[in-house]
């Protein structure tokens, strides 16, 4: 049924999409000697304990700062501290600085206008135009932050809210999509009638607030011929051959998803009392074409101006057909055909809107109960754990390659780490070798020679260099207590 393939090119990310226990046990089992496996497992634990200790103070500062900006009870804590407005502003900026650093370490990226345009260039399950009520959003918090910390490719709405995204997945839905198919058939018939009658030239064309981009005419939508990039296919009803024959058959549509999305914003204050609460919403598996469901402070959807124009134009055409038939002694069949098409189109517009509105409400409910992972402090705890998990996995993979391969350059290490993840776990990622090597050097278990090559120490020596951690002493004490 597909008329054409639509493939979206996406940047490969630095996230290692493998569970840490699975990663560690798989690499340990690749070692031939049991003593090496034992030392390797010990090293992995010590690496994690050390990395947790490094980030502990930073994460504590982050959580302490957010406690006064938590929308739930942060206002009370701010009043208790009796801070001036300037002091609160400084605390806000400190919190955002910590937050953006953690986001970067967790491999979250700010969604750009271009990425959002590409994502929303099609429709998936949500078929209504959703807009943000910008009057309900604060415009000073993020504006001040980006004035002090300028970044490239910020979206147009960066002064009101920020969308962080990470990871790519696939969502498929199989159904009859009866109303959607009928909508396409009627719309194509209507477009054909408008073309024949040349009325289409009188109707306004859709426009965008930004320069409209045709995704099929830029580098983001490409053919499948190139092999060095990451591609995800988008299967939409609009690109399928729909007819009355296959109207009652099931079809499967497919849309790329953002595996994780975090939205940051602050509500505006309706009165003189400044609203200081900072909102963080954490979502999972959001289809790119339905990204609107994560937007803050959404307006209630309604018929678009274009829908009203089409609706009124249909009524005028229908009225003209009726008036014209009154002057004729014998009514032609084409008048009945045109009139029935107009009535059908008006009915289609109304019922399609009602169906889309019900689907929208269902998606919003689903996003609240199924797709929203957490908010506020819970989101920060997720982020802190993500940082530790990713850092540990990067260090373990890079050390394993150095241990097995010996001296190597940073470039070769990067390639070998990506190859290992592909061979053992059948997944790809853009390995962050700079961060991994930096951590290994900080641990003191990797050194660089005069030629720029890196070499690690042996497993036993690596464990001795890191030494016994506090966590190990606590576990040993607990075991002694249980034994006694």
- Encode pLDDT of 22-44 as tens digits: 999 999 999 999 999 999 999 99
Examine the pLDDT at 467 and tell me if it is beyond 80: yes
DSSP label at residue 129: -
- Encode pLDDT of 202-216 as tens digits: 555 544 444 444 444
Taking the C-alpha atoms of residue 151 and residue 153, their distance in angstroms, rounded to an integer, is: 7
What percent of the chain is modeled with pLDDT above 70? Answer: 75
pLDDT attached to residue 273? 58
- Nearest Cα to Cα of residue 30 among 425, 413, 466: 425
- Nearest Cα to Cα of residue 123 among 187, 204, 219, 203: 187
- Encode pLDDT of 418-434 as tens digits: 999 999 999 888 899 99
Examine the pLDDT at 398 and tell me if it is beyond 80: yes
Examine the pLDDT at 78 and tell me if it is beyond 60: yes
- Encode pLDDT of 238-277 as tens digits: 788 777 777 788 888 898 888 899 999 999 877 655 678 9
Strand order of the sheet with strand 109-110? 109-110, 161-175, 251-265, 279-287, 372-375
Answer for the pair 115, 232: CB distance below 8 angstroms, yes or no: no
pLDDT attached to residue 72? 86
Taking the C-alpha atoms of residue 38 and residue 51, their distance in angstroms, rounded to an integer, is: 20
Query: Looking only at Cα atoms, what is the longest distance across the chain?
Result: 109
Examine the pLDDT at 120 and tell me if it is beyond 80: no
Which residue pairs from 450-459 have beta carbons closer than 8 angstroms and sit at least 24 positions apart in sequence?
452/409, 452/410, 453/407, 453/408, 453/409, 454/402, 454/407, 454/408, 454/409, 454/410, 454/413, 455/402, 455/406, 455/407, 456/399, 456/402, 456/403, 458/403, 459/36, 459/39, 459/40, 459/43, 459/403
Taking the C-alpha atoms of residue 63 and residue 340, their distance in angstroms, rounded to an integer, is: 63
- Encode pLDDT of 180-190 as tens digits: 777 777 777 77
Spell out a b/e string for 61-98, using b for 16 or more CB atoms within 10 Å of the CB, else e.
ebbebbebbbbeebbeebeeeeeeeeebbebbeebbeb
pLDDT attached to residue 224? 38
- Encode pLDDT of 130-182 as tens digits: 788 888 999 999 999 999 999 988 999 999 999 999 888 888 888 888 777 77
pLDDT attached to residue 311? 55
Taking the C-alpha atoms of residue 446 and residue 110, their distance in angstroms, rounded to an integer, is: 33
For the four alpha carbons of 15, 20, 26 and 30, in that order, the dihedral sign comes to positive
Examine the pLDDT at 58 and tell me if it is beyond 60: yes
Examine the pLDDT at 397 and tell me if it is beyond 90: yes
Which residue is listed with tokens 């009658």?
197
List, in sequence order, every residue forming a beta bridge with 264; answer none if it has no partner. Answer: 162, 280
pLDDT attached to residue 119? 75
CA within 13 Å, CB half, 247: 10
DSSP label at residue 371: I
Answer for the pair 280, 74: CB distance below 8 angstroms, yes or no: no
Taking the C-alpha atoms of residue 109 and residue 166, their distance in angstroms, rounded to an integer, is: 6
Please, what is the average pLDDT of the chain? 80
Average pLDDT, stretch 397-415?
94
């Amino acid at each position: 049924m597909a008329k054409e393939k639509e493939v979206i090119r996406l940047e490969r990310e630095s996230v290692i999409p493998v569970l840490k226990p699975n990663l560690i046990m798989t690499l340990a089992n690749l070692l031939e000697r049991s003593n090496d496996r034992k030392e390797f497992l010990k090293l992995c634990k010590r690496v994690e304990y050390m990395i947790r200790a490094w980030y502990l103070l930073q994460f504590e500062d982050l959580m302490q700062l957010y406690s006064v900006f938590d929308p739930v009870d942060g206002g009370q804590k701010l009043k208790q501290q009796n801070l001036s407005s300037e002091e609160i502003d400084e605390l806000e900026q400190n919190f955002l600085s910590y937050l953006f650093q953690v986001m970067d370490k967790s491999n979250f990226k700010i969604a750009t206008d271009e990425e959002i345009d590409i994502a929303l260039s099609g429709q998936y399950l949500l078929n209504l135009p959703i807009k943000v009520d910008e009057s309900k959003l604060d415009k000073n918090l993020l504006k001040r932050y980006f004035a002090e910390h300028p970044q490239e490719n910020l979206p147009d709405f960066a002064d009101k809210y920020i969308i962080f995204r990470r990871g790519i997945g696939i969502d498929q839905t199989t159904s009859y999509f009866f109303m959607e198919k009928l909508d396409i058939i009627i719309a194509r018939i209507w477009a054909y009638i408008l073309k024949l009658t040349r009325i289409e030239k009188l109707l306004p064309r859709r426009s965008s607030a930004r320069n409209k981009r045709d995704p099929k005419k830029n580098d983001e939508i490409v053919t499948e011929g190139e092999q060095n990039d990451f591609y995800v296919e988008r299967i939409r009803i609009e690109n399928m051959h729909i007819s009355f024959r296959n109207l009652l058959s099931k079809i499967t549509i497919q849309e790329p998803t953002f595996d994780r999305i975090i939205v940051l914003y602050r509500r505006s204050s309706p009165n003189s009392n400044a609203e200081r609460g900072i909102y963080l919403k954490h979502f999972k598996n959001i289809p790119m074409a339905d990204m609107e469901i994560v937007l803050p402070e959404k307006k209630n959807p309604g018929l678009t101006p274009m829908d009203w124009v089409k609706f009124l134009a249909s009524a005028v055409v229908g009225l003209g057909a009726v008036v014209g038939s009154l002057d004729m002694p014998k009514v032609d069949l084409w008048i009945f055909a045109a009139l029935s098409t107009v009535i059908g189109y008006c009915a289609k517009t109304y019922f399609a809107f009602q169906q889309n509105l019900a689907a929208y409400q269902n998606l919003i409910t689903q996003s609240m109960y199924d797709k929203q992972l957490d908010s506020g402090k819970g989101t920060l705890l997720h982020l802190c754990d993500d940082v530790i998990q990713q850092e540990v996995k990067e260090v373990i993979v890079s050390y394993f390659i150095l241990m097995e391969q010996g001296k190597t350059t940073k470039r070769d290490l990067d390639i070998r780490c990506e190859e290992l993840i592909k061979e053992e776990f059948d997944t790809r990622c853009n390995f962050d070798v700079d961060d991994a090597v930096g951590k290994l050097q900080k641990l003191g278990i990797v050194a660089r020679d005069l030629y720029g090559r890196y070499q690690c120490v042996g497993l036993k020596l690596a464990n001795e260099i890191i030494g016994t951690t506090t966590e190990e002493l606590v576990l040993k004490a607990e075991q002694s207590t249980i034994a006694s």
